[in-house]
Amino acid sequence: MNFYSLNKQAPEVSFKEAVLKGLASDKGLYFPTSIKPLPNSFFESIGDLSYEEIAFEAIHQFVTAEISNEDLKRIISETLSFDFPVVTLDKNISSLELFHGPTMAFKDVGARFMSRCLRLFHSEQKNDITVLVATSGDTGGAVANGFLGVKGVKVVILYPKDKVSKVQEKQLTTLGQNITALEVDGFFDDCQDMVKKAFLDRQITDHIQLTSANSINVARWLPQMFYFFFAYKQLYKNHKKIVFSVPSGNFGNICAGLMAQKLGLPIHHFIAANNTNQVVTDYLETENYQPKPTVQTISNAMDVGNPSNFIRIQELFKNEFSNLKAHLSSSSFSDSSTVEGIKELYSDYNYIADPHGAIGFLAAKEYQQKYPDTHCVFLETAHPSKFLETVEKAIDTKVELPSQIKAVINKEKKSIKISTYDELKSILLN
Ligand SMILES: *Cc1c(COP(=O)(O)O)cnc(C)c1O
């Protein structure tokens, strides 16, 4: 399968090249040249297939020719070493828990899949690869963990000082080995700007091979389709109109869900659940796409003022606004509503959710007031203990720390403090 740049000013590339480059030379995001729906027989028998078999069918067409079936099966099996349970809260609302991986956020699957692709591709070439990534919290930990100890790959993570949670900071600063954490005196947007600048800096790119592990990378984006298939497998026998409410920031996850639908997965509708960074909510109302500066919220992984993957969603719907609107709704919630959502989930369902999942829940409930005959699944994208202070305060109860978190919380933090681009550059070149 080839991939083209959505800016249409760069040549088509193979899956391998798209993964190694991250972004096309014209700065466009890569998109597959064709999307072939899966056969009906697959959906009819999905209840009898294992997660690994389902994942193989879902992603096979996009990676074939570059990755042998045998390698793909191994990569999938190493990636999916934990569960993806649907927890039913009442007869028409469920939570899809995506936090059972090593760093307890849904980004583990994409990061683990991508690191294994890079390891495979690296073994076919000589040069080391440097993965450069900016994080607002969860990406850093998932990428650090997914790439830890991978030969020939160095990882450099930029995160904004004092703006990620304690647990998130520990997850990305305590691993060592091939992982370097840079603590940037600034906001997430400053980290992202430095990363973008490095990708355009010939003095760097002439010397080292850089790639990105943000959701713009196809190897991180596409495996996120798996979740929607896995939830469908668990729900389809009892529910007809399945709707997903996806807490969204950079819109990679929901875009993967829309891809799954394009492959034929019978999903009734999608809801993009947002915090006050609501450029897409506004767009669906006004047809006017207006990026805004980022606003800081308690659901920090969704603090994105200009979601990178939205352009892929536009492409999926051939830029037809009415078609997009028929498949996708969006609503936005303030921090105080988010806290109310966490409280309500706890008091009404005895369910402890993190702030992102709580927004997914609120958006699902709002949708169901209009469409009560649907079954809404909100994605619980992170474990509540990753946002311990917010959650414990909201429910006035202690949250039990899972073993994955206990394992890092007392480890020693190791980071390099930087405040300028030149400091980043000298670290990369040494
Ligand atoms: C990254 C993240 C999101 C947003 O996902 P996108 O793919 O960027 O839309 C939501 N919740 C959590 C917990 C995350 O880490």
Q: What pLDDT, in 10s, does the model give residues 321-344?
A: 999 999 999 999 999 999 999 999
Instruction: Check if 275 has its Cβ closer than 6 Å to any atom of ligand 1.
Output: no
Task: Sketch the domain layout of the chain as residue ranges.
Answer: 83-106+221-400
Query: What's the mean per-residue pLDDT of the chain?
Result: 94
pLDDT at 59: 98
- Tell me the CA distances in angstroms from 34 to 18, 193, 424, one per residue in order: 15, 32, 38
Q: Supply 382's token pair.
A: 């992170």
**What pLDDT does 47 receive?**
96
Contacts with 331 (C-beta within 8 Å, 6 or more apart), sequence order: 271, 273, 274, 281, 362, 363, 366, 367
- Given the CA of residue 224, which atom of ligand 1 is nearest to it? 7
Residue 107 is a catalytic residue = yes
399 token code pair: 């949250």
Options 1.10.10.10, 2.30.40.10, 2.70.70.10, 3.40.50.1100; CATH of 83-106+221-400: 3.40.50.1100
- Ligand 1 test: best mutation among 139, 356, 390, most atoms within 8 Å of CB? 356
329 lines ligand 1 (CB under 6 A): no
How high is the pLDDT of residue 170?
A: 94
Q: Is 303 in the pocket of ligand 1 (CB under 6 A)?
A: no
Nearest partner of 125 among 152, 146, 149, 145, judged by Cα: 152
- Alpha-helical runs (H) found in 107-206: 107-122, 138-147, 166-173, 188-200, 202-205
**Candidate from 302, 333, 359 with most ligand 1 atoms within 8 A of CB, to mutate:** 302
For 247-305, what is each residue's pLDDT tens digit?
Answer: 999 999 999 999 999 999 999 999 999 999 999 999 999 999 999 988 889 998 998 88
Q: Which residue ranges of the chain lie beneath pLDDT 70?
A: 125
Atom of ligand 1 nearest to the CA of 137: 15
What is the pLDDT, as a whole number, of residue 332? 98
Q: Is the CB of 381 under 6 A from ligand 1?
A: yes
DSSP bridge pairs for 13: 3
Question: Is residue 263 a contact partner of residue 237, using CB atoms and an 8 Å limit?
Answer: no
Catalytic residue among 16, 36, 73, 107: 107
What is the reported pLDDT for 216?
Answer: 86
* Cβ neighbours, 10 Å, residue 156: 21
